[in-house]
Structure 1
């Protein structure tokens, strides 16, 4: 094997903190993936970038990451691929308009070494440093079928673009667009629209056999579905998505200071390596408080039957606190300050807390970081109650599954004013095998 090619490939993997050994037969073993990749002659890694519909929120984007990460993991069974993490920014629900909330790296919110225990990843800004010029070779814009469909089947076809948010710059000979707010600092040589119906695995043979581009991007990645929602691979990917230690530390300090909650007392201690951590339901005790996620804002208009009045909300929360024999409540909500004050007045017999970020915390970690701190505090409560079909509540449920809470203490929701016995959330419990 050409020693230069060996060194180039292994150097990149070392940069990603992958432990790699190369045998005489040209087999590369990763003890982080627990897989063997037969590559014969070492190949230069290829890079997969992706983006999501601009209107999608923070927590849906986390779900799309999991679909793409599983695709890259599948690709690595046959050839070396690295997932490029799209910078965060410009999300609808991030309301602190005085802050520059663009080009935020994943490391602000998530623990990258933890992600890399599932799949090799790098930040977009790191890829730009590796590229001879800031030009992506090929972009595949995923779209639905114009004619719709009557029966579900996995299929994909190269089609004319139904809608194309990119424009071709004749002078540069490149396609230009948003590119995570980098705009015309980045370009694409070739753009193709692809109609897709089905799972992310559909893209694997296409990427392996229909293109040899070094850098490939898929836009509207939410179009692809999970290959196997809720299975072992799904949960391994989800377990790898640990929040950054800085954000966890802020949430832990708030728990300790105001909620009499620590990991040691609550039996929620994290193993440093998520691959070595397997908790049984009921192992986690949680802090002596109830946590509630109350999605209001746009839900008041989008789902009026599922969002109770403030009076009814307070009534339901009181009932939960009484049943759990607790006097402390933590609330995560997007409600305006006047509504939150009114709710606290209705709950005046209880200790009610919300996380109000200091100026330096908000400026450093932005609205996304504050949302994560809220989720982390909610995830450690003795009992959690959320909002119907909110991805914010759903992600808290994931965290509580990983920590080992009894599902009865997690999968709960507030009911609308006209529905006293409303349907409770589906239970997507953790799978290890």
Structure 2
């Protein structure tokens, strides 16, 4: 029988030793040698409807928090698998299953690990022998009347769960089983709802208060950034290198269609992000790149989203200004809208990344989006979409590559928009 309550649970934990040290768990049931402490884990989850690029942002919040926590013990951050995102619209016959996709499919794990200890979810399951996790903490916003609050203070407290955190679950003796992270058999021993307001560093207080080997933070998006845009933020962001095979696909496309290579474009980077040096020497390939967001932006941000003809006018003007004849288009628009856009750009070369069937099955929808972002990040000039996290991630990549700010922080304007303010320049810090 399925019960509905305002709780969220999760899957894994490792059995506790009979004797523990103050800061960890022993590897032996009989002895606790000082250096035989088992690793401890923080898992996290994000509100299911959130998109790929917002979830990347939440990773930075958790990783910067874990960077400091890992100095106090053998803590590891468990990477939640990717599953059924809103923008992953392809049929399973085209991409294969898009549930339980690991991070190594999209990112360079060794590079992530050079910033903070991380482990894939499936590896974590094996490491703890599929045992339930010890504690699940469901973050929720503090319930209050915003108009009556004169000063917000950071803090957290264990409180009853709000109605909006309700979820169906089943209880078997002392173990809870729910559907989360794309799995139906996720289990946990304990669960608490936490009313939370503050930066992700505040999560350390929760973790330290509970002597557990494994803890899951659910709705991690509730925790805010720790000093967004500072040097630590950018260290984490720079460590988020894409999977090498996706970089290779992007490089081959750029060279074949856009006359663009890293050596010519001055976008060569060291293999290790920690060896990157500040500077704005990147020139980029001889093409304009645009990210034209459509679909939900047509009704969600109609004032800031141009028509196809309006976008074409802005693209033409910039191509003429830059003395370029080539544009690369990244868009979520239906194919017929892309064909319409291309038909208006007579006299210009227009490209759009379309993977082969075998390629698409290999890289999946998330990989297609990353290839788009890589190609856009290497262009001579970039125009993005207003308040799009997809565009924002490209701007970050261009900052890391070392482009001049004026070539990066640009956006499409609505057809009738008179006060089209350009994006805030969140520039890199070393």
Same fold (TM over 0.5): yes
Note if contact 1:247-1:372 (Cα within 8 Å) is conserved in structure 2.
yes
Change (3 A) 1:306 1:379: same
Higher relative contact order (CA 8 A, sep 6+): 2
Number of aligned residue pairs: give it.
395
Matches within 5 A, 1:7-406: 41=35, 43-98=37-92, 99-149=96-146, 150=149, 151-162=151-162, 163-184=164-185, 186-208=186-208, 210-281=209-280, 283-406=281-404
Paired position in structure 1 for 2:11: none
- Work out the CA distance in 2 between the residues paired with 1:159 and 1:308: 45
Question: How far apart are residue 365 of structure 1 and its match?
Answer: 1.4
What SS class does the counterpart of residue 76 from structure 2 fall into? Answer: strand
Q: Deviations over 1:68-99 (max 9, x none)?
A: 00111111121221000000011111101324
What SS class does the counterpart of residue 396 from structure 1 fall into? Answer: helix
Unaligned runs of 5+ in 1: 13-38
Note if contact 1:174-1:188 (Cα within 8 Å) is conserved in structure 2.
yes
What SS class does the counterpart of residue 47 from structure 2 fall into? Answer: coil
Unaligned runs of 5+ in 2: 1-19, 28-32
What SS class does the counterpart of residue 153 from structure 2 fall into? Answer: coil
Note if contact 1:168-1:174 (Cα within 8 Å) is conserved in structure 2.
no
- Work out the CA distance in 1 between the residues paired with 2:420 and 2:375: 25
Note if contact 1:173-1:189 (Cα within 8 Å) is conserved in structure 2.
yes
Note if contact 1:175-1:191 (Cα within 8 Å) is conserved in structure 2.
no
Paired position in structure 2 for 1:33: none
Q: Deviations over 1:28-82 (max 9, x none)?
A: xxxxxxxxxxx97563221000000011000000000000001111111212210
Change (3 A) 1:148 1:369: farther
What SS class does the counterpart of residue 77 from structure 1 fall into? Answer: helix
Q: CA RMSD in A?
A: 1.8
Question: How far apart are residue 155 of structure 1 and its match?
Answer: 1.2
- Work out the CA distance in 1 between the residues paired with 2:130 and 2:287: 53
The normalised TM-score by structure 1 is 0.88
What SS class does the counterpart of residue 311 from structure 1 fall into? Answer: helix
Q: Deviations over 1:361-392 (max 9, x none)?
A: 11111110000000000000000000000000
Q: Deviations over 1:206-242 (max 9, x none)?
A: 212x111111000100000001100000000000001
